[in-house]
Every structure is written in C-alpha cells, then in structure tokens.
Chain A
Amino acid sequence: DPKIIQKPKYLVAVTGSEKILICEQYLGHNAMYWYRQSAKKPLEFMFSYSYQKLMDNQTASSRFQPQSSKKNHLDLQITALKPDDSATYFCASSQDTNERLFFGHGTKLSVL
C-alpha cells in the first residue's frame, strides 16, 4: 500500500510539449521534495517544500515549476520538454527537513 503516490508511472512526451507529474503523500509529512535520476547524473535534488512553501530550488531552468495545491500534494510542471529531460523523477517526503526521506516509486519520463 504505497504511501507516496506518483502519477503516471511512465510518460512519453514529444520535444517541446508540456507535462505535469503528480505526487500525493499520505504519511502526514510536512516536507516534500522532487529529485531527478538519470543514467548520466546521480540522484539530483530539484526542489524542497515545507508547509507548502518553497524552501530551496536547485533547478537552473524555469521550465520546471513545482505546484502545491494542498499540504500533501506537490506536482511538477515541465514545459518546453527536451530530450535531456528524460529521467526518472522521484517525489519524496519527510516529517521535517532533518528527517529521513521516503520516496515514491518515481515517474519515468522519456522525451522523444
């Protein structure tokens, strides 16, 4: 019974299009994150949120926009998709920012 739900599990997109990755957590955590993992790069931090407020952003491109409509939701909108954006995007949460991370199963994005 997954406590962090990511949708979809797999996503194929064309270059230039826009997609939204969904994340909901049912652990009652206050902090949520997005990480990205590809064959070329290690698990890379993108955004952190605490109590629905953006705390840190290590993504250089404004094409990546997190959206938190509810306390337990943190979606990721990606615009003008490029083949280089192909990766597995992991949503994670923790009780607080100094606690262990719990990860969702990931969304594997392929941009053609």
Chain B
Amino acid sequence: QQKVQQSPESLIVPEGGMASLNCTSSDRNVDYFWWYRQHSGKSPKMLMSIFSNGEKEEGRFTVHLNKASLHTSLHIRDSQPSDSALYLCAARRNSGTYQRFGTGTKLQVVP
C-alpha cells in the first residue's frame, strides 16, 4: 500500500498560471515532509521542506502543512515551462532513518 499519496497524477497549466499539488501521508507517525523536483532524465532535487503547521514561501513556491490531517500542498505561481517536471513528495516517520516518496505529480507548463 502506498503510504505517501500524491494528486493529481498529472497536471497541465498555462505559462504564468498557478499549479497546485497535493500530498497526504496515511502513516500517522510521520513528522517531516519534503518536496523534490525531478526533471526528465535527471535526479531529484529538493525544493522545499516543511515540518511545522502553516505555510512557508520561497520565491514562486509556497508549501502548506496540516499536521492533523498529514496533508501538505505545493503551489507554484507564475509557472514557467522550466517548471515542467515530476514533483515528488517525501515523508519521514518519527525517529525514522529514511524518506518515503510518493508516486509523484507530472507537471507540464504549456506556453
């Protein structure tokens, strides 16, 4: 069973638009969340992390976390074609030693 679930599976947004990606952990013992971006043929690179309830903004990227529901979301404003990639959500269990990844959301930004 997939413990880190991401939606949607794929997303197409126009250039300049807003992309919203979701991630939920079905494992109640998760404490840390990360978002990674993986361009085609490349390795994943961390975008943002969030450990506390609330919101965090870095440039065009905003991440939210609701610890009660173990739901995090990533929002990309003013989306650019270079944002087209696979977005991976990762979660770590309390005192765990590794990050478990979701299946990802494939984002395509069209001109």
Interface residues, chain A, with chain B CB atoms under 8 Å away = 31, 33, 35, 42-45, 48, 50, 55-56, 58, 90, 97-98, 100-106
Contact = CB atoms under 8 A, between A and B. Distances in A.
B44 A43 contact: yes
Interface of B: 2, 32, 34, 36, 42-46, 49, 88, 90, 92, 96-104
B8 to A, nearest CB: 15
Contacts of B102: 42
B98 A103 contact: no
B50 to A, nearest CB: 12
A105 B43 contact: yes
A109 B43 CA distance: 15
A45 B4 CA distance: 13
Contacts of B34: 100-101
A100 B49 contact: yes
5 nearest A-B residue pairs (beta carbon): A103-B43, A55-B97, A43-B101, A42-B103, A48-B98
